[in-house]
């Protein structure tokens, strides 16, 4: 499967039918989502991109609870056509590649020593994943078109889950990171 889960034994990311997974500690999950959030916020352009950004914002442990987040690549609504699925997959790979270039990591306020390994593993999982017509069309926990993350946190310059929560993942963090 293509599941990515964070925090404790219950948090694991798996890529669908491939059997690979990415299990992360609570701190590892926070780091993984921090670096992806910085990247997705700067490259989102189309409606699907903002839906994927919203999907990432909904993985915030500071809101959902430690050890209570994670997803399977099969939960993502990759699109109804081969072209849409290929475009969505390419977008996710571009987000990861930007994060791998340490995009905006200087704004984190900490050095994420294991982030590169998490990102490389996730990228490999996405690359190996083949979205198909068998993907659940209800999208699982994937935000619909009307639930895209279009709000931006001004201090942190990232997409946020407004109006669901009062701020972005950095505003919500227990550490109260400064922009």
pLDDT mean over 119-124:
95
pLDDT at residue 134, rounded to an integer = 41
Return the beta strands (E) in the chain as ranges.
2-6, 12-14, 21-24, 69-72, 152-153, 158-159
Other beta carbons within 10 Å of 95 = 29
At 54-98, the pLDDT tens digits run 888 877 655 554 544 567 888 888 998 999 999 999 999 999 999
Please give, one letter per residue, the 3-state secondary structure of 16-53: CCCCCEEEECHHHHHHHHHHHHHHHHHHCCCHHHHHHH
Contacts of 50 (CB under 8 A, 6+ apart): 44, 148, 149, 150, 159
Structure tokens at 136: 């659940």
Tell whether omega for the bond before 163 is within 30 degrees of 0, i.e. cis.
Answer: yes
Identify whether the C-beta of residue 74 lies closer than 8 Å to the C-beta of residue 136. Answer: yes
pLDDT at residue 78, rounded to an integer = 92
Most confident of 5-14, 106-115, 137-146: 106-115
With H, G, I as helix, E, B as strand and everything else as coil, classify residue 78: coil
146 pLDDT more than 60: yes
pLDDT at residue 118, rounded to an integer = 93
Give the helix/strand (H/E) hosting 124. Answer: helix 115-128
At 20-65, the pLDDT tens digits run 777 877 777 888 988 999 999 999 999 999 889 888 887 765 555 4
């Amino acid at each position: 499967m293509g599941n990515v889960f964070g925090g404790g034994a219950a948090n694991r990311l798996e890529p669908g039918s491939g059997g690979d997974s990415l299990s992360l500690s609570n701190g590892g999950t926070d780091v993984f989502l921090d670096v992806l959030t910085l990247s997705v916020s700067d490259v989102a352009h189309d409606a699907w991109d903002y839906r994927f950004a919203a999907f990432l914002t909904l993985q915030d442990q500071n809101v959902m609870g430690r050890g209570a987040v994670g997803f399977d690549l099969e939960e993502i609504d990759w699109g109804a056509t081969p072209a849409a699925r290929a475009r969505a997959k390419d977008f996710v790979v571009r987000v990861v590649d930007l994060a791998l270039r340490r995009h905006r990591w200087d704004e984190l306020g900490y050095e994420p020593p294991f982030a590169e390994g998490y990102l490389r593993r996730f990228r490999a999982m996405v690359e190996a994943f083949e979205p198909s017509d068998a993907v659940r069309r209800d999208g699982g926990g994937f935000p619909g078109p009307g639930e895209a993350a279009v709000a931006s946190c001004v201090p942190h310059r990232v997409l946020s889950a407004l109006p669901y929560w009062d701020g972005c993942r950095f505003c919500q963090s227990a550490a109260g990171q400064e922009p």
